[in-house]
Chains A and B, each alone.
Chain A
Amino acid sequence: MAFCLPLFANHYIEKIEGIVLDAETGKEIIQANVVIVGTDFGTVSDNDGKFKLENQFSFPMRLEISHVGYLSHIEIIDQLPIDNILIRLYRQSVQMDEVVVTGTRTQKFRNETPIATEVITKNDIENSGARNVADLLSQRAGVSLQTSVAGGSNLNILGMDSKYILILIDGQPITGKFNNRVSLDQILTAPLEKIEIVKGPNSSLYGSEAMGGIINIITDKNKNNRQVNVSARYGNTQNNFKDNGIKNGSNNLGLNIIQPLRDLLLDVNVNVDETQKDKSVQQIDIDKVRRVVFEADASWKLNNENKVSIKTSSYDQVDSGSSKLMNTNTDIDRKNFSLLHKTNYQKRWNVNQTIISNNYSRNYVQERPWGELEKDDLTSEKHLEYEILFNKQTESKELNAGLEVYRANYSSDRISSGEQEIISKSIFGQYDIKIKNQLNMIFGLRFDDYNNNYRVSSPRIGLLYGLADKYKIRMSWGRGFRAPSFMERFIDWNNVQFNYLIEGNPDLVPERSNGITIGMDYFRSRKSQLSLSFYSTRFDNLIQDYVKRPGVLSYQNIFDATFTGIELVYDWTFSKRLDSKWILNWVDNRDADNNPIPNTIPFSISNLINFNFLNNFVKSSINAKWVAPYKPQEYDVQKGIYILAEEKMNAYTLINIRTSIKLNDSINISLVLDNVGNYTNTDFGPFIGRAAYLELSSTISR
């Protein structure tokens, strides 16, 4: 009888054909793995999501279809015909299955990497209703945002000044900082896929600035079929509406076009954002801010082993303001170009080479209404970088290595010593080993050499241990650094207001950090996950301004501090209609004398609840954030330094509500209510009171 079974079970045929689609959007999924279970025989789906297997097969068979970011699917095939199999893959909705790249510079499932990574998903971004990354992040516990008097916004994340957090876009640092910080309100949320947040020092992979953590802003590249998306948004704050009616609101227009042309994929994105007489920008005497973003991306698959991508983007921001005594105009211009070549060498090594060119300029003009020019400051930065990354993977081991050569030229009217140049050369490696599917370890090391002025080595060790399928324990230790900025080294500027001089210090050495992160994930079911993490980072040689002599300020490596925090993140998917995310953040930051560091928010809680009705016809989100009382910083006139204020700021709550209605398959209309409780604080923020936005978006795809 046993001998007879194969005779009944086996049917010989020539080919199996099918297509793999996203179950939610219906879009084709390329590069999905299709493997016959129990064999090594398989293929991948092509650019149209189609796959074909040609061989002699036997029935019944199990076909496993998998793709990063999707739940794997097993298709049992036991009958003919099999030339038109339709496979629908479901996205991994719960964050524990997200694919992340930031912690290791390679794609890994979040629950398999020793480097704890938090993900703000595309859904979270859309549900937040935030216009830019600064607004988005400020909704999260442990993050506070202050409108900078110098323009832009100062971010305080995990109790840390944002200059100690490396901000990346698609894995690359952002050119053009003002006051040593990236202005996150200059990055619009419209083209984003997700944001990854990694805590702790990570200079072993990324070099300078990854002292306290990384925020990687990732643009949406999961678009493979022809698509046109148009969106328009109008918003206004309650105060503006009362004073000026609807004519002085903020507007946003977006256009995204995806066009596949055989092996070439074109992706063009244009976004125009305009804010007028917004209270947040009135804080810095600006009447109008206009931002124009243009991005074009072309990817060309030369053959199965080689792929080339060209990306160009430009960002233009004009801030203008006028009063009876002064007209001001700030023009910020950022142009980026990158050329990426991906290849697979002898099917063993993945090699990525990238050339990146970034140009940034900031022109600040002050002119009296009667024509007298008061100020015309121009700052410009030019960056050129080449990097090559090697990656080799086996079932249980992975090796990453890379080389970066970087040149930056900087000139500013605030630097009297002319154009300055920094050249750095870096080499790094990372070894990832998996032992018995339970233990995963990472060892990394990086050397950075800056113009031969100083050399920095940054090691890192990470460990992930799986326990009884329900627990994951993570530990990582690493060192980070931040190279002194051009301004800190070379500034030569007279503050007209206070009539003091700021002199740069060319002898500054890098600020260093040494930190440990310990975390545990608990998977209660596939629908919920609890992540608890503890992090403690010691900062040495922090750069701080000091009085060099009466009337002259300069910078020195004089400050040490220890930043400690505990964070609890709870993701819960109750049903397809209801999910929520809670974040509790506790921070204790102290200087070398054990005094609390001003502006540290010791405790905050944020909560995002998403629910939908009527088969996704209506989607709603409520985002709430509670901030415990804290002591802000205030200026000590006698000492000439910032100190902890004597009085605490009261606790406050911010609530945002977003409702989106799907009018048909291609048109969505959304209404966002920001800061429903209308809480404002004119000294420390939030500066914007109650606000509302209305957005209309339409996507036509084929």
Chain B
Amino acid sequence: MTRLNKIISMIMIFFIIGCEDKNEDDNEIVIYEITTENVSDGPYYFNFVSGTKDNSTWHMVYQNLEVSFGGAKYEMPSFSLHNGVMMAIDNSLKFEEINQSPSPSAFAPENGRMKYEGKNAALLYDMQSHKVLTSKENYIIYDTVTHKVYKIYFDEYSSGVVLFRYAELPGN
């Protein structure tokens, strides 16, 4: 009887563990961390679907942008999205807590909002400290080709290289 109890208990434990694993898999959003190449080496094109650098099929590009300061022109690092990608901003939650796509009406063409000096610029230049800073905003992008939605957060900029995180969000 004792042995039978043990066997039943073990079967139940395995069953419970198995169920929990399945639930986790259902809700799990995998966050990927990407380190770009140095912007001075040329544009860096990124494909969120494949999760790789891809010069031909890409969703976001990191490159130097020519800007004017004090009558002279300089190159500043800047991000922008492909024309086929729409953008939304969600600052209501922390990046890690965002696990659902916003409503389709939240998305709008990027139209230069993400680039340097744009309304939602991913990289900012602090004129007091003379440092390039990353935005504190959560970017949500929608690929109109694959209909996939991704959240992006820019963590750090250092001497031409940017670290950002992204994750695919389940469709709405």
Instruction: Please give the residue numbers on chain A whose beta carbons come within 8 Å of chain B beta carbons, in ascending order.
Output: 149, 283, 323-326, 366, 368, 374-375, 496-500, 547, 550-551, 634-641, 683-684
Contact = CB atoms under 8 A, between A and B. Distances in A.
A325 B69 contact: no
A324 B163 contact: yes
By DSSP majority rule, is chain B's interface helix, strand, loop, or mixed?
A: strand
A551 B128 contact: no
A323 B158 contact: yes
6 contacts: A149-B130, A325-B157, A496-B160, A547-B70, A640-B70, A684-B128
A498 B67 CA distance: 10
B40 interface: yes
B3 interface: no
Contacts of A149: 128-131
B74 interface: yes
- For B68, B70, B157, B160, the residue with the greatest tally of chain A CB atoms inside 10 Å of its CB is B70
B104 to A, nearest CB: 34
Contact of A497 (B72, B132, B155, B162): B132
A638 B158 CA distance: 25
B71 interface: yes
Given A325-B159, A640-B70, 20 more contacts: A149-B130, A323-B156, A323-B158, A324-B35, A324-B156, A325-B158, A325-B162, A374-B159, A496-B40, A497-B132, A498-B69, A498-B74, A499-B74, A547-B72, A550-B71, A550-B72, A551-B74, A634-B127, A635-B128, A640-B72
Contacts of B128: 149, 634-635, 683-684
Nearest to B160: A496
B161 interface: yes
B74 A500 contact: yes
A656 B171 CA distance: 55
| Those 5 A-B pairs whose CB atoms lie nearest each other, nearest first | A640-B70, A635-B127, A325-B158, A550-B72, A326-B158
Nearest to A498: B74
A181 to B, nearest CB: 16
Contacts of A547: 70-72
A366 B159 CA distance: 9
Contacts of A497: 130, 132, 159
Contacts of B132: 497
A637 B70 contact: yes
B75 interface: yes
A374 B160 CA distance: 10
B155 A324 contact: yes
Nearest to B129: A149
B73 interface: yes
Interface of B: 33, 35, 40, 68-76, 127-132, 155-163
Contacts of B159: 325-326, 366, 374-375, 496-497
A325 B40 contact: no
Contacts of B72: 500, 547, 550-551, 640
Nearest to A636: B70
A639 B70 contact: yes
Contact of A283 (B70, B71, B129, B155): B129
Contacts of A636: 70
Contacts of B69: 498, 637-638, 640
A648 to B, nearest CB: 16
A634 B69 CA distance: 14
Nearest to A324: B163
A637 B68 CA distance: 8
Nearest to A148: B129
B70 A325 contact: no
A270 to B, nearest CB: 34
A551 B127 CA distance: 17
Contacts of A638: 68-70
A602 B77 CA distance: 38
B70 A641 contact: yes
Nearest to A497: B132
Contacts of A496: 40, 159-160
A640 B69 CA distance: 6
Contacts of A635: 127-128
A17 B38 CA distance: 81
B130 A325 contact: no
B26 to A, nearest CB: 30
Contacts of A326: 158-159, 161
A665 B97 CA distance: 59
Contacts of A325: 35, 156-159, 161-163
A325 B162 CA distance: 8
Contacts of B161: 325-326, 368
A483 B127 CA distance: 29
Contact of A637 (B73, B127, B157, B160): B127
A241 B28 CA distance: 33
A368 B130 CA distance: 21
Contacts of A324: 33, 35, 155-156, 163
Contacts of A683: 128
A550 B73 contact: yes
Nearest to A641: B70
B158 to A, nearest CB: 4
- For A325, A547, A550, A551, the residue with the greatest tally of chain B CB atoms inside 10 Å of its CB is A325
B122 to A, nearest CB: 15
Contacts of B70: 547, 636-641
Contacts of A498: 69, 74, 76
Contacts of A374: 159
A507 to B, nearest CB: 23
Contacts of A368: 161
Nearest to A375: B159
A511 B110 CA distance: 51
A310 to B, nearest CB: 43
B41 to A, nearest CB: 12
Nearest to B33: A324
A498 B159 CA distance: 11
A129 B5 CA distance: 70
B13 to A, nearest CB: 37
A634 B156 CA distance: 24
- For B33, B75, B127, B155, the residue with the greatest tally of chain A CB atoms inside 10 Å of its CB is B127
A375 B159 CA distance: 10
Contacts of A283: 129
Contacts of B73: 550-551
B80 to A, nearest CB: 19
Contacts of B160: 496
- For A366, A497, A634, the residue with the greatest tally of chain B CB atoms inside 10 Å of its CB is A497
Nearest to A370: B35
Nearest to B35: A325
